[in-house]
Amino acid sequence: MKKVIYFTIFLYMMGLLFACPGWSLHEKSAETRIEELSQRIEQLEKQTNKTDAFFRWFDKITISGLLEVEAGYNKFDPNASGERGEESSDIVLAACELGIDAAFNDHIAGHVLFLWEEDDTEPVDLDEGFISLTGTEQIPVYLHAGRLYVPFGNYESFFISDPFTLELGETRESAVVVGYHNDILNISAGGFNGDVDETGAKNHIESFFAGAEWSLPEDVIPDFNLAAGISYISNIADSDGLSDVNDLDEDGDPDGIRDYVGGFSGHISASFKDSVFCVAEYVCAVDDFEDGELQFEGVNIKQPKAWTAEIAYVTPSDIGFGIQYEGTDDCGKFLPEVSYGGVVFCYPFENTYVGVEYLYQEYENNDKNEVVTAQLAYEF
């Protein structure tokens, strides 16, 4: 028995003797593999951190867009004797918008909006691009600086076609807007250097605007919302619509006006149970322009005014109906004097709009116009 034990111990010792060099080699190989593995893990951690940083950055970016396709029919009946009526129809990509919003913290954000409109803004127009600074909950102030639509007018509508108030007053400029807002009140003011200047004046920041909007607190009257606002702009001739009817100089730029003419806007909107909606707005110049300063097809525009009123009803199944009445004064053939019509629309799928509108319009010279427009729109 002892011989067996001794022989076993001998074999074990010999195994250790011959195994030791092999162990050393294996230990070195394992250390190398561990070191390489550690380096790979470190590289993966760096790549993961970069990827996480990218996604954290990307989470702060919001991309949105809008596509509008329209099919329209137009019948124009001139009042002048001897002139023949005209009929036309077309299908167009009415709007293609791509917006990028970035909010890297609670107080600073950026907004960029590219716009393409067939036969209007080709190839692509930078519609908006501005920086926003916002305050805290205790001091809810804000600042927008860049190319934007200045807060003059509201232009809310359920119809496919733009309201007359927008055609008269909407103004896009490179401007600075400062304001204060809370759940009830929003007050803003700012300035810009417009394209339509006083004749002979130096090129300075001379145009300004100011406005205030008020909203009824939600808990005052259940299921009832009410909002109203007023705004003023010191140079309404610089609006996107009126600047196009100002005389052009030899370079194709607006020729200017003798004196700035201010503009006023007032609007009110109400809704009940998010089913019945009422909208009304009024936009006007507060003084007269000189003869020849604003002309459209040879007719002077002295003190333009526009108003619109709409009533709409939306069913629980997202099918809507609306009627509209609009009017203008002292706009010549730039805008119809009277317009009324109706619209039917629905939202068959999420973010998808389908609508058809009919408008009957009359101008100051008794020309008549009928417009039928169908629109398919998708927003993302």
| In the predicted structure, residue 63 carries a pLDDT above the cut 90 | yes
- The pLDDT tens digits for 302-344 are 999 999 999 999 999 999 999 999 999 999 889 999 999 999 9
The rounded distance, in Å, linking the Cα atoms of 350 and 182 is 30
Confidence of residue 219 (pLDDT cuts 50, 70, 90): confident
> What DSSP designation does 294 have?
B
Cα 170 to the center of its chain, rounded Å? 13
Distance CA 279, CA 324 (A): 9
pLDDT attached to residue 299: 86
- CB-count burial class (<10 Å; 0-12, 13-18, 19+) for 188: buried
* Count of Cβ atoms closer than 10 Å to residue 313 Cβ: 14
SS3 313: strand
CA–centroid distance for 95 within its chain:
12
CA–CA dist 168, 283 (Å, integer): 7
Q: How many Cα atoms are found within 13 Å in the side-chain-facing hemisphere of 311?
A: 1
Residues 6+ apart with CB under 8 A from 104: 60
216 forms beta bridges with: none
Residue 217 scores a pLDDT above 60 = yes
pLDDT at 261 over 90: yes
If one compares 113 and 85, the residue with the highest pLDDT of the two is 113
pLDDT at 13 over 60: no
Per-residue pLDDT at 260: 94
Phi-psi region of 36 (alpha: psi -120 to 50; beta: other; left: phi over 0): alpha
Measure the CA–CA gap between 323 and 33, rounded to whole angstroms. Answer: 78
Structure tokens at 197: 């200047």
Q: pLDDT (tens digit, 9 = 90+) per residue, 289-300?
A: 988 888 888 888
Whole-number Å distance between alpha carbons of 47 and 39: 12
Nearest to 134 by CA among 110, 99, 101: 110
At residue 54, the pLDDT reads: 61
Local confidence band at 50 (pLDDT 50, 70, 90 cut-offs):
low
Q: pLDDT grade, residue 83 (50/70/90)?
A: confident
Query: Which tokens hold the place of 34?
Result: 């561990």
pLDDT score recorded for residue 52: 65
Instruction: Please provide the CATH number assigned to the domain covering 58-379.
Output: 2.40.160.10
Determine contact, residues 366/79, Cβ cutoff 8 Å: yes
Distances (CA, A) of 52 to 20, 33, 48, 49, 105: 47, 28, 6, 5, 17
Tokens of 263: 């503009």
Residue type present at position 97: E
What are 298's two structure tokens? 């040879």
Nearest-angstrom CA–CA distance, 239 and 166:
9
Which pLDDT score is estimated for 201?
Answer: 78
CA 111 to chain centroid, in Å, comes to: 9
pTM of this structure: 0.82
Tens digits of residue pLDDT in 98-137? 999 999 888 999 999 999 998 887 788 999 999 999 998 8
CB–CB of 128/243 below 8 Å? no
User: For residue 9, what pLDDT band results from cuts at 50, 70 and 90?
Assistant: very low
When the pLDDT of each residue in the chain is averaged and rounded to a whole number, the result is: 87
- pLDDT computed for residue 29 by the predictor: 67
Beta bridge partners, 69, equal: 93, 376
Cβ proximity of 216 and 203 under 8 Å: no
How far is the C-alpha of 294 from the C-alpha of 302, rounded, in Å? 7
Tell me the residue length of the chain. Answer: 380
Task: Name which residue leads in pLDDT, 227 or 58.
Answer: 227
Q: Say what the pLDDT of residue 151 is.
A: 96
